[in-house]
Amino acid sequence: MKYRELGNTGLMVSEIALGGEWLERQTPEAVCAVVDRCREMGINFIDCFMSEPNVRLNIGNAIKNDREKWIIQGHIGSAWRDGQYVRTRDLEETKAAFADLLSRFHTDYMDLGMIHFVDKLADWEEVLTGGFMDYMKALRAEGKIKHIGLSTHNPEIARLAVLTGEVKVILFSLNPAYDMLPATDNIDDYFVEQYAEGLSGIAKERADLYKLCESEGVAITVMKGFGGGRLLDAKRSPFGVALTPCQCIHYALTRPSVSSVLIGFSTPAQVDEAVYYENATEEEKDYATALSKMPRHAYIGDCTYCGHCKPCPVNIDIAMVNKLYDLATVKEDVPATVKEHYGDLSAKASDCIGCGACEERCPFGVKVTERMEKCAKLLG
């Protein structure tokens, strides 16, 4: 298992993590088996948005003997009312639900306190002005949460959250299909049977969000990396072709600022299937070839950092240079961290000899030599 920095939090999380939603309605023994397998495979990161009491307790019992080794992304604003899940901004209900979460997890803190499921601007404004954010800050000051995070499907809400300076982690729905869609506050837009014609490449709002998170040191943790399973089924995929779990995971992990992909497991075998990614070949991880051949929509002209451009005769890491160039253009002044990372590269954009071999290999027709010239002018 490989580990990544979780933004500027100082935490290191496994690239593949446990999203707990499929553990609902499982027996305590089944939950323990999944958690045990995650532990064996090196997974150290859990997300729990569920408010159902039994699943909280089952997960809590499964990690209580080594809780300090786990990084928990616990949601605040998810409550259990009259026998069912509700999203709430009522502070008294929220406080009771959070106390219940701590109790059932046998802990006195959450590593990440996630403001639960904010997709609409009115809801975000209520979080800011209705006392919810003040409550989150108070929990952080008391040590009951170490960092404030937020879960959303809407890139505009995520952008606003990052700009507060308070939110350090964004749990965001991210995959090649969703990345084509413009910002929306209606989650149903992601699940239509077929996307509108004319979509091409990553929507600007989403690309800008990823770059903003990277520049601000805000981590992205990924939900819905498989699109609820649709991307793994050619008949249901909006692309008309099926991707593999390895391809979906690799796509997410090549986005700027992404630290971990949360996957819902209900059996130990499913843990093994996901963790297989860590030993997969480059061919097995290759999402770019599949996307370039899809009958519906295209990423033509966009660098997705897939690495198909390799090898370079002068050993330029073209995908990394392109990523750093994109990050350098987020702000008027190039961020110092981007300059530092670029300076550490053994071969720079200015070393490009313009042979064009990379362009012949690029599945998306990116004008790589032009990009190298622009990067050399910007970064030296």
Delimit the domains of the chain by residue range. Answer: 3-286, 318-379
* Distinct helix (H) and strand (E) counts, the chain: 15, 12
Q: pLDDT per position in the chain (380 positions), as tens? A: 999 999 999 999 999 999 998 898 899 999 999 999 999 999 999 999 999 999 999 999 999 999 999 999 999 999 999 998 999 999 999 999 999 999 999 999 999 999 999 999 999 999 999 999 999 999 999 999 999 999 999 999 999 999 999 999 999 999 998 898 878 877 777 766 666 766 667 889 999 999 999 999 999 999 999 988 888 988 878 777 889 999 999 999 999 999 999 999 999 999 999 999 999 999 999 988 888 777 666 667 778 787 778 889 999 999 889 888 888 887 778 888 888 889 989 999 999 999 999 998 887 788 999 999 999 999 88
What DSSP character marks residue 231? G
- The set of residues, in sequence order, having a beta carbon less than 8 Å from that of 238 and lying 6+ positions away, is 177, 192, 193, 194, 195, 230, 296, 297
DSSP helix/strand/coil, 163: helix
Question: Pairing between strand 84-87 and 16-19?
Answer: unpaired
Residue that has been written with the tokens 């981590």 in this structure:
219
Nearest to 249 by CA among 273, 215, 213, 217: 273
Burial of 378 (0-12, 13-18, 19+ CB in 10 A): middle
The torsion angle over the Cα atoms of residues 213, 214, 216 and 218, rounded to 10 degrees, is 60
pTM: 0.86
144-165 exposure pattern, b = at least 16 Cβ within 10 A, e = fewer: bbbbbbbbbbbbbbbbbbbeee
Contact in structure between 60 and 52 (CB atoms under 8 Å): no
Cα separation, 216 vs 212, in Å, equals: 6
Nearest to 183 by CA among 168, 162, 204, 167: 204
Nearest to 320 by CA among 306, 336, 333: 306
Q: How many CB atoms lie within 10 A of CB 183?
A: 17
Structure tokens at 47: 């997300």
The torsion angle over the Cα atoms of residues 201, 207, 211 and 217, rounded to 10 degrees, is -120
Contact in structure between 301 and 361 (CB atoms under 8 Å): no
Cα separation, 346 vs 342, in Å, equals: 9
AA identity, residue 38: C
Contact in structure between 18 and 267 (CB atoms under 8 Å): no
Q: Yes or no: is domain 3-286 CATH 3.90.1150.10?
A: no
Helix (H) or strand (E) holding 104: helix 91-104
Nearest to 303 by CA among 244, 363, 225, 242: 363
